């Protein structure tokens, strides 16, 4: 429905830093004369920091969690439209170890309009509210001439019905969420849908920024259609059960703008569950939880006739979040660990020969695996002062089984070393990737954040050195990412 | 747009299911929503189910004097009270409240059992805080808090209850009175707090937070 394929107009400048600074100043000037404010802010009339920890969206405060779980219905009906835009610059540490730097690091060290979103959100009735996002990517596709083309599609959607039975010492929130992304309904920021929060630009210069480094996730991915029921009892126990199916027919709007060929096709109803324990004392709050999903995904979205083409994903996660919120201080610690298991379809295993050969070119490598298991760990600590100045430190580690099917570099039948995925090629067949991200950010006004992230790798695609077979080392992927994010 | 029709039909059906639910509404612009409903569905998110808040970021309201509550809510609504705690959290929530709802909220919280905080901290501070509360600071001309707020800090009409309030909130508000013009309705406090040191403010705040339990502590009885 939102398939507005329009010509992208990338913003570029020779001096990226200067561009970001000037843009920030212009936005500041505009904002001081504008009355437009984000939709939820209009609805409650409160500052962003009431719901977002230290004003750092999207992370929610205990109050923000209750606002979400009560179905976005607190407050008064208001104009339910907001917009946001992100401009950014990515700079990869080493762009020389590449056969084709122009392809491997598109727009490197150039300021671009990264993404823009239109958000519809707010109270509909006493029990119904919604949050829906349509995102425009100016760099969605590239034609044969190298020109980028923009594209819009449905992003996170969460439509809720909620009721709250409260009185005396009893508090029960019950609700339903129709949504398009497993865990988008979750009120904690360690949820897969929320932990990575800075929109990721498409050009390949951003392929190594923090948002593209390993994060917990669900094999089914997004833009599917789910209905979840949840209950939050005495702000202590949170339970959520849901089922996801393909986004089509009545629920096609959940994947609006996504081509049929790219639209995840699931077989039947696929279960999602979430259990969390929450405790608040003084300015502290702690959540310890677990979640999981089993999904059967068709290999080819355009052909769902053969059950032999189904991959089965089993994802299990544990997560924890601690917050200390006492104005003007906001401290958050987040931890998430997931085990992702995938059993490949019988059809994809019909020819199990590895795509590459040994160094002599004479013998093929071990057959591809019938199943893989990966583990992703993310830990982050952040601090925000006066809802203005903040910083964070994050650690990520992806480890998993080695599979010759993962290889995008290796020897061909003539014994020649080749690679098929540019600077991100994988010689080992192992996905192991590890590193840290440091971030500093500044929110001069509550609708605007300017952030600088630096992501450093000591392992990439299973190796710290020569991971692609052509001499590229993990640390060559270290990337600085400067962004300015406006939400209105 | 062939899918728009069923989507709209589904939305309309949902609307009918949950059209109005005033007994459990979180609508802040509906004058028919009762104050008790509002207190439970909305205010409790920060101030606790019975007006005793978990986080010191938000003041306890249980047992607060109704007159003071009315004045504050009207102050938020009119933007007359503009300290950070006021404009960040309360301006928006109070903007459409009716006078009757404000009175109802004030009565609801005035009728709740006052918060009793666990006693913690340094007894030396209690002694110093008690001295300021009960006697003022004579050489600086600081009046005794008890003069207006009552000997037990329970408040009196427009003078708020202080007993059992979060120390962090008391410190922040005393600094607001002392250093800003953000609470003109409490201008008398600007004079009173003018010569308090930060140490004085912290001492009296931790003492007030520990009331009334502190009364039972040996050697810390209030001067009456």
d(CA A429, CA A409): 9
Q: CA A455, A457, A461, A467: dihedral to nearest 10 degrees?
A: 120
Q: What pLDDT score was predicted for residue A20?
A: 62
| φ, ψ (nearest 5 deg) of residue A178 | -95, 115
Per CB-CB distance under 8 Å, the chain B contacts of A168 are 49
Percent of chain B with pLDDT over 90: 73
Q: What pLDDT score was predicted for residue A365?
A: 92
| φ, ψ (nearest 5 deg) of residue A36 | -65, 135
Percent of chain A with pLDDT over 70: 92
pLDDT at A36 over 50: no
Averaged over A345-365, what is the pLDDT? 92
A413 vs B223, residue with greater confidence: A413
CA nearest A213: which of A484, A458, A384?
A458
Per CB-CB distance under 8 Å, the chain B contacts of A125 are 15, 18-21
d(CA A151, CA A144): 17
Q: Are B201 and B171 in contact (CB under 8 A)?
A: yes
CA distances from A149 to A146, A203, B111 (A): 10, 11, 63
Per CB-CB distance under 8 Å, the chain A contacts of B18 are 125-128, 161
Q: What pLDDT score was predicted for residue A84?
A: 92
Token pair belonging to A339? 């085990």
Strand pairing partners for A482? Answer: A89, A452
Number of neighbouring beta carbons within 10 Å of residue A414: 9
pLDDT at A66 over 90: yes
Token pair belonging to A267? 């077989």
Residue A47 near chain B (CB below 8 Å): yes
Percent of chain A with pLDDT over 90: 85
- A131, burial (CB in 10 Å: exposed 0-12, middle 13-18, buried 19+): buried
pLDDT at A16 over 70: no
CA nearest A446: which of A161, A98, A25, A56?
A56
Dihedral of CA B34/B35/B38/B39: which sign?
Answer: negative
B residues 49..108 contacting A (CB < 8 A): 49, 54-57, 84-85, 87-89, 91-93, 95-96
Q: Are A294 and A270 in contact (CB under 8 A)?
A: yes
Dihedral of CA B144/B145/B146/B148: which sign?
Answer: positive
Number of neighbouring beta carbons within 10 Å of residue A53: 26
Tens of pLDDT, residue by residue over B26-64, are 999 999 999 999 999 999 999 999 999 999 999 999 999
CA nearest A122: which of A56, A71, A84?
A71
Dihedral of CA A188/A192/A194/A195: which sign?
Answer: positive
Residue B42 near chain A (CB below 8 Å): yes
Q: What pLDDT score was predicted for residue A390?
A: 96
Q: What pLDDT score was predicted for residue A57?
A: 84
CA nearest A215: which of A244, A183, A177, A245?
A183
pLDDT at B71 over 90: yes
Residue B10 near chain A (CB below 8 Å): yes
pLDDT at A193 over 70: yes
Q: Are A96 and A470 in contact (CB under 8 A)?
A: no
Collapsing DSSP to helix, strand or coil, A309 comes out as helix
pLDDT at B1 over 50: no
Residue A233 near chain B (CB below 8 Å): no
Residue A164 near chain B (CB below 8 Å): yes
CA distances from A450 to A70, A86, A446, A453, A486 (A): 31, 10, 11, 10, 9
pLDDT at A250 over 70: yes
Q: What pLDDT score was predicted for residue B8?
A: 64
CATH architecture classification, A16-143+151-487: Beta Barrel (2.40)
Tens of pLDDT, residue by residue over A272-307, are 999 999 999 999 999 999 999 999 999 999 999 999
CATH architecture classification, B123-216: Orthogonal Bundle (1.10)
In which residue ranges of chain B is CATH 1.10.760.10 found?
28-110, 123-216
Averaged over A361-383, what is the pLDDT? 95
What fold, for B28-110? Cytochrome Bc1 Complex; Chain D, domain 2 (1.10.760)
B187: which residues sit within 8 A by CB, 6+ positions away?
Answer: none
CA nearest A191: which of A140, A141, A242?
A242
CA nearest A68: which of A180, A181, A197, A230?
A230
Q: What pLDDT score was predicted for residue A300?
A: 94
B87: which residues sit within 8 A by CB, 6+ positions away?
Answer: A47, B79
Averaged over B178-200, what is the pLDDT? 93
d(CA A62, CA A53): 9
- For chain A, the structural domain boundaries read 16-143+151-487
Confidence band for B14, pLDDT divided at 50, 70 and 90: low
- B73, burial (CB in 10 Å: exposed 0-12, middle 13-18, buried 19+): buried
Tens of pLDDT, residue by residue over A405-423, are 999 999 999 999 999 999 9
Longest dimension (CA), chain A: 77
Q: Are A426 and A408 in contact (CB under 8 A)?
A: yes
Tens of pLDDT, residue by residue over A86-114, are 999 999 999 999 999 999 999 999 999 99
Q: Are B116 and B190 in contact (CB under 8 A)?
A: no
Per CB-CB distance under 8 Å, the chain B contacts of A126 are 18-22, 24-27
């Amino acid at each position: 429905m939102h398939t507005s394929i329009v010509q992208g107009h990338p913003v570029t400048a020779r001096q990226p830093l200067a561009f970001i600074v000037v843009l920030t100043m212009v936005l500041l000037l505009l904002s001081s004369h504008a009355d437009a404010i984000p939709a939820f802010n209009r609805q409650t009339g409160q500052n962003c920091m009431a719901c977002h920890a230290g004003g750092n969206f999207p992370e929610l405060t205990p109050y923000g969690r209750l606002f979400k779980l009560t179905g976005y219905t607190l407050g008064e009906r208001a104009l339910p439209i907001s917009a946001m835009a992100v401009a950014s610059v990515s700079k990869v540490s080493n762009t020389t170890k590449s056969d084709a730097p122009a392809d491997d690091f598109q727009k490197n060290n150039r300021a671009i309009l990264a993404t823009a979103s239109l958000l519809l959100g707010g109270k509909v009735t006493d029990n119904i509210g919604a949050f829906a996002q349509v995102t425009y990517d100016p760099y969605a596709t590239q034609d044969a001439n190298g020109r980028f083309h923009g594209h819009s599609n449905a992003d996170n959607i969460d439509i809720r019905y909620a009721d709250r039975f409260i009185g005396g010492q009893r508090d029960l929130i019950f609700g339903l969420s129709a949504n398009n992304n497993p865990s988008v309904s979750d009120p904690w920021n360690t949820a897969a849908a929320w932990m990575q929060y800075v929109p990721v630009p498409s050009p390949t210069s951003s392929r190594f920024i923090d948002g593209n480094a390993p994060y917990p996730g669900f094999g089914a991915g997004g833009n599917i259609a789910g209905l979840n029921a949840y209950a939050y009892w005495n702000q202590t126990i949170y339970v959520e059960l849901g089922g996801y199916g393909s986004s089509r027919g009545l629920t096609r709007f959940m994947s609006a703008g996504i081509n049929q060929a790219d639209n995840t096709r699931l077989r039947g109803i696929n279960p999602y569950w979430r259990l969390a324990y929450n405790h608040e004392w003084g300015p502290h709050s702690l959540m310890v939880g677990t979640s999981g999903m089993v999904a059967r995904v068709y290999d080819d979205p355009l052909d769902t006739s053969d059950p032999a083409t189904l991959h089965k994903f089993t994802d299990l996660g544990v997560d924890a979040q601690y917050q200390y919120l006492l104005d003007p201080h906001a401290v958050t610690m987040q931890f998430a660990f997931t085990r992702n298991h995938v059993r490949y379809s019988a059809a994809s295993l019909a020819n199990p020969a590895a795509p590459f050969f040994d160094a002599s070119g004479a013998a093929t490598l071990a057959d591809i695996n019938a199943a893989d298991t990966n583990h992703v760990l993310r830990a982050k600590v952040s601090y925000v002062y006066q809802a203005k100045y903040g910083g964070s430190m994050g650690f990520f580690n992806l480890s998993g089984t080695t599979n010759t099917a993962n290889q995008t570099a290796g020897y061909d039948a003539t014994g020649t070393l080749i690679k098929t995925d540019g600077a991100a090629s994988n010689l080992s067949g192992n996905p192991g990737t590890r590193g840290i991200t440091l971030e500093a950010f500044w929110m001069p006004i509550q609708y605007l954040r300017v952030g600088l992230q630096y992501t450093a790798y000591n392992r990439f695609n299973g190796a710290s050195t020569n991971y692609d077979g052509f001499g590229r080392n993990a640390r060559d992927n270290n990337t600085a990412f400067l962004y300015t994010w406006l939400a209105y | 747009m062939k899918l728009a029709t069923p989507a709209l039909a589904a939305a309309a059906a949902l609307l009918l299911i949950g059209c109005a639910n005033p007994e459990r509404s979180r609508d802040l612009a509906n004058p028919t929503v009762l104050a008790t409903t509002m207190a439970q569905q909305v205010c409790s998110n920060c101030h606790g189910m019975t007006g005793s808040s978990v986080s010191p970021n938000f003041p306890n309201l249980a047992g607060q004097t109704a007159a003071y509550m009315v004045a504050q809510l009207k102050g938020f609504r009119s933007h007359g009270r503009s300290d950070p705690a006021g404009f960040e959290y309360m301006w928006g929530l109070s903007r459409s409240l009716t006078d009757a709802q404000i009175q109802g909220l004030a009565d609801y919280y005035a009728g709740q059992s006052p918060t009793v905080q666990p006693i913690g901290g340094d007894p030396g501070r209690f002694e110093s805080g008690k001295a300021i509360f009960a006697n003022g600071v004579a050489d600086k001309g600081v009046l005794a808090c008890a003069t207006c707020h009552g000997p037990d800090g329970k408040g009196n009409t427009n003078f708020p209850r202080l007993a059992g309030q979060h120390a962090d909130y008391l410190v922040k508000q005393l600094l607001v009175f002392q250093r800003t013009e953000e609470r003109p309705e409490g201008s008398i406090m600007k004079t009173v707090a003018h010569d308090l040191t930060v140490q004085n403010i912290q001492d009296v705040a931790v003492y007030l937070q520990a009331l009334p339990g502190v009364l039972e502590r040996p050697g810390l009885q209030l001067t009456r």
